[in-house]
Structure 1
Amino acid sequence: MQRLLAIIVIFIPGIIAAIGIKLMRDTLFDDFYAIFFYGSIQFIVGLILFILGVAFLGGFIIYRDRKKQKRQQQYIDTKEDG
């Protein structure tokens, strides 16, 4: 269950970042959506979505790596004691 939750947590920000890339690409190729009044607004929203998605993914990976490093360090400490 925890692995499924972790996959969902990784999947959603990945989709948000992909939507941001798509919005920026569509702006560059003159494909505008009606909800955005100007192309620059569409590009900025896409950039913000991309940055937020990548930042969340990066933070999740850093958190996981730090957590694993602590576990490995505890294992090494207990192995030296015994």
Structure 2
Amino acid sequence: MRLLLQRLAAALMLVIPGLAATYGFLAMKNAFFHQFEPEGGFQWGRFLLGLLLFAVGSAFIGGWIFFRDRKRGYVAPQFRAKKKRPRPPEP
């Protein structure tokens, strides 16, 4: 039962930012196309809120995937964790 709850919590941690990114994309789209309506202008507030939600949601999901792949060793050598070199003893 505990494993099931952990997996549910992990899934929710990905679904919530995904929904935020989706809503942000739709808000930006609606703000852009609102300017073509007869009494419409560009809705800067809605567009900037949508941009913020889209950026935060996408960055969270991208970071999640990057660190998971880094842990499993799927990333290129320049993105792998740096190994600490031992310091030479001081004289």
What's the counterpart of residue 58 of structure 1?
Answer: 62
Over the aligned positions, Cα root-mean-square deviation in angstroms equals 1.9
5+ residue gaps, structure 2: 36-41, 75-91
Provide the C-alpha distance between the structure 1 equivalents of 2:48 and 2:73, rounded to a whole number of angstroms.
Answer: 37
Provide the C-alpha distance between the structure 1 equivalents of 2:69 and 2:22, rounded to a whole number of angstroms.
Answer: 24
| 2:14 equivalent to 1:10 | yes
Provide the C-alpha distance between the structure 1 equivalents of 2:43 and 2:64, rounded to a whole number of angstroms.
Answer: 32
Structure 1 or 2: more helix by fraction = 1
C-alpha deviation, 1:67, in angstroms = 1.5
* Residue number among 41, 45, 51 corresponding to 1:47 in the alignment: 51
TM-score of the superposition, structure 1-length normalised?
Answer: 0.69
What's the counterpart of residue 39 of structure 2?
Answer: none
5+ residue gaps, structure 1: 32-37, 71-82
Provide the C-alpha distance between the structure 2 equivalents of 1:2 and 1:45, rounded to a whole number of angstroms.
Answer: 31
Identity over aligned pairs, percent:
41
**Between Structure 1 and Structure 2, how many residues are aligned?**
64
Q: Which runs of 4+ in 1 moved over 6 A?
A: none
C-alpha deviation, 1:2, in angstroms = 2.4
